[in-house]
Structure 1
Amino acid sequence: MIRGTARDHALYAAMTSIWGASFFFTALALRSFNPYMVVLVRMAVAAAVLGVVVRARGLSVPRERRTLGHLLVLGAGNMALPFTLLTLAQEHVTSSTAVVLSATTPVFVFLIASLGLRAERFTVGRLAGIGTAFAGMVLLAGGGVELWGWPLAVVASSALFASGNVYTRRRLPHLDPAVIAFGQIAAAVLCLLPVTALTGHLEVGEVRPVPALALLELGLLASAAAYLLYFRFILRWGSTAASVNTYLQPFVGLLLGGLVLDEAMSGRQWAALGVILAGLLVFGAARLSPGRARRG
């Protein structure tokens, strides 16, 4: 159990719910916008909102080359690339499948912090949890060793998010969460705009109200608000603890996908979800306190 105030846990629950619903809203946005435009507009709206927040709070945007370099790396690798992969994948897999496969992020965070940085303890219990969770991912993707194609793209995006999570904690602990969020998302827009234009995807067809509102939600809540909270928790609790929210997102995503989008789950998919959640219970059996997770 992560320690914190009642307000911390309420904000964490809000962030988790927002991101769990983002797969549903992405599916709606894709009904009128191509994947590249979904990501670009989402990031542009978030950057505009966060820019206002930074200015209203009197925060200064860093000008040191090293810090700007870190933000540019994160904008490309922690925002632009993984969100593009994830949104492209949602044209081929259901939102329910995407939200469950995305639950691999905290596992990747732990593996990076443990094997790469030696900042987390690698225990038998956690190894069992990781193995169980990945077995569930394979089962969900098709069984056996058939984890390939677009399901693999979702898992790859999770690995990129995990890397950015740890990188942010290690390289930018001195910045305010609002500045981190604004810097990364603004950098993502700078990366996405030329790529979207050069690939011929800077176009919009007939825009219907529901997809437009869904895209606005993705910018305002799933990007601007959620990342303000997320970077706050990374700095307060550490990389692994902050990323655990992705294990809880499937409950929201599956509910919306099943009830609103009518995405039926097969028996194998429900079994896979059960295996993944069992992995979560095993992986999280060791108590995760801010003091221990902070090093990650």
Structure 2
Amino acid sequence: MIYLTLRQWPFIAWQRESMSAKSVGWMALVICILAASTYNGFAKLLTGALSPLSLFFVSELLTGFFVAFSFGLMPVVRGISRLNRKSFPPLLLVGLTSGTVGPLLLFHGLERSTAVNASLFLNMEPVFLVMLAVIFLHESFGRAHAASSVAISAGVVVIALRGFTQGIGMSSGDLLLLASSFCFATGGIIFRKSLRHVKPHLVLFSRSAIAVVSFFLLSPFISHTLMEEVRAFPLAALPVLLGFAFISRFLNVFSFYEALDRLSVTTVSLVGNTGIVTSLLFAWWIVGEPILWYHIAGGGLIILGTILLELLGTHPTAKHLERHLRQRNGHR
């Protein structure tokens, strides 16, 4: 490792040592940001081979698998079985909002919209989270909340109106993406109100399990062709599916927890906001979607709003912020 000092000669010294935990944490955080950036792009490509319902099933199944892989299936099951009975109704609601309705709206929105828009519109979640917290948790609405909400909302308006070059109007896909963001925020509020005592990975696993069970319960009543889609799945799209499974889901979640264990919660939260930029670049590079000037302007306002939300303190303690990050990271 290279050390710089102005107090003694030589000014530059080289010392060989093993990689520190902080260095590993930064590497994990960079990997997490890059891996998370692939989600909307890969999902958009897969909408051409899988229906939104099939993509929803695969996504939630993978989420449950990777939580079990990271923490162990039996410890997770034992942890859930030991929960207080009063925790199960909120768990069910989180599973229905964040695990079922939210992802379904997200994939239907991606089918009708673009990965670039998804990367931006899904960041309306903090605004919805603040609104719901004021209404249902009776939290105060201060200047920090107002400033961040205005900045994020302004960014979405700039994108929706294409830089004010067109009249008011949004595609159905964009509206579905915003509705998806609202569902994720609803799940976050339920988590904050009733499940703070529950470890986040137990909530994530329960959420995914409820989503998978919901899929099988709804299957007899809807016309769905999962097996036909699997048989007709093009081999050319197989690398995308594997990338979605391994990079967007497993590597994203795994590196996130590694970074959170080695870096401060504030660092992970603030630096993680750069994922908005990398998501746009990935959508442009892989999917071939154009990034126009109003995407950049709106994205800048959204990034400003999310940073204000973190810097000015919407979470009372670092522990509270950590729980929120762990729960939010498993949404998508």
2: CA distance between counterparts of 1:278 and 1:253?
A: 16
In the other structure, the counterpart of 2:297 is 271
Equivalent AA in structure 2 for residue 202 of structure 1: T
Structure 1 residue 134 and structure 2 residue 160: aligned? no
Alignment-derived partner of residue 46 in structure 1: 63
Indicate how the Cα distance of structure 1 residues 217 and 118 shifts in structure 2: closer, same or farther if over 3 A, else same: farther
2:277 is aligned, of 242, 251, 270, to 251
Where do 1:166-185 residues align within 5 Å? 166-185=189-208
Partner of 1:104: 124
Distance apart, 1:139 and its partner CA: 2.0
Partner deviation per Cα, 1:234-269 (whole Å, 9 max, x = no partner): xxx99x999878843321211111122211122333
Counterpart of 2:287 in 1: which secondary structure? coil
Q: Larger relative contact order (C-alpha < 8 A, sep ≥ 6)? A: 1
Contact 2:155–2:301 (8 Å) recurs in 1: yes
146 and 18 in structure 1: CA distance in 2 versus 1, 3 angstrom threshold: same
Task: Assess, with a 3 A threshold, how the Cα gap between structure 1 residues 190 and 277 changes in structure 2: closer, same or farther.
Answer: same
Partner of 1:199: 222
Relative distance call for 1:226 and 1:73 in structure 2 (3 A) is: farther
The residue matched to 1:118 in structure 2 has which SS?
A: coil
Alpha-carbon distance change, 286 to 263 in structure 1, aligned in 2, over 3 angstroms: same
Helix, strand or coil at the partner of 1:174: coil
In 1: Cα distance, 2:130 partner to 2:272 partner: 13
Q: Is the 8 A contact 1:181 1:224 kept in 2?
A: no
User: 1:97 is matched by which residue type in structure 2?
Assistant: N
Q: Which amino acid in structure 2 is aligned with residue 81 of structure 1?
A: V
Tell me if structure 1 keeps the 8 A contact 2:137–2:193. no
How far 1:112 sits from its partner (Å)?
A: 2.3
Q: Report the number of matched residues.
A: 287
Cross-structure match for 1:114? 134
The alpha-carbon deviation at position 162 of structure 1 amounts to 1.4
Alignment of 1:81-92 (within 5 A): 81-92=101-112
Q: CA deviation at 1:131?
A: 1.4
Amino acid paired to 1:50: V
Q: 1:176 to 1:226 in 2, by over 3 A?
A: farther
Instruction: Classify the secondary structure of the residue corresponding to 1:122.
Output: coil
- Amino acid across the alignment from 2:147: A
Uncovered stretches (5+) of structure 2, i.e. residues with no partner = 1-21, 325-332
TM-score (norm 1): 0.80
Greater Cα shift, 203-212 or 251-260: 203-212
Query: For the structure 1 residues 30 and 50, does the alpha-carbon distance in structure 2 shift closer, same or farther, using more than 3 Å as the test?
Result: same
Contact 1:35 1:88 in 2 (8 A): yes
Deviation, 1:43, is 1.3
Deviation at 1:53, TM superposition (A): 4.5
Checking the alignment, whether the CA contact within 8 Å between 1:78 and 1:160 is kept in structure 2 is yes
2:47 is the alignment partner of 1:30: yes
Aligned 8 A contact 2:93 2:190 in 1: no
Structure 2 counterpart SS, 1:62:
helix
- Out of 87-96 and 159-168, give the one that drifted further: 159-168
Q: How far off its partner does 1:26 sit?
A: 0.2
C-alpha distance in 2 between matches for 1:247 and 1:168: 22
Preserved contact between residue 72 and residue 184 of structure 1 (Cα < 8 Å): yes
Q: 1:61 to 1:282 in 2, by over 3 A?
A: closer
Q: Secondary structure at the match of 1:146?
A: coil
Match of 2:80 in 1: 62
| CA deviation profile, 1:77-135 (whole Å, cap 9, x unmatched) | 1111111101111111110111111111122222222343134x422243132112112
Shift of 1:224: 5.5
Structure 1: tracts of 5 or more residues without a match? none
Q: Which has the larger radius of gyration?
A: 2
Does the 8 A contact of 1:47 with 1:182 survive in 2? yes
Q: Do the aligned partners of residues 270 and 153 (structure 1) sit closer, same or farther apart at CA in structure 2, a change above 3 Å counting?
A: same
Distance change >3 Å, CA 51–CA 113, structure 1 → 2:
same
Counterpart contact for 2:43–2:107, Cα < 8 Å: yes
Measure, in 1, the Cα distance between the counterparts of 2:28 and 2:183.
Answer: 24
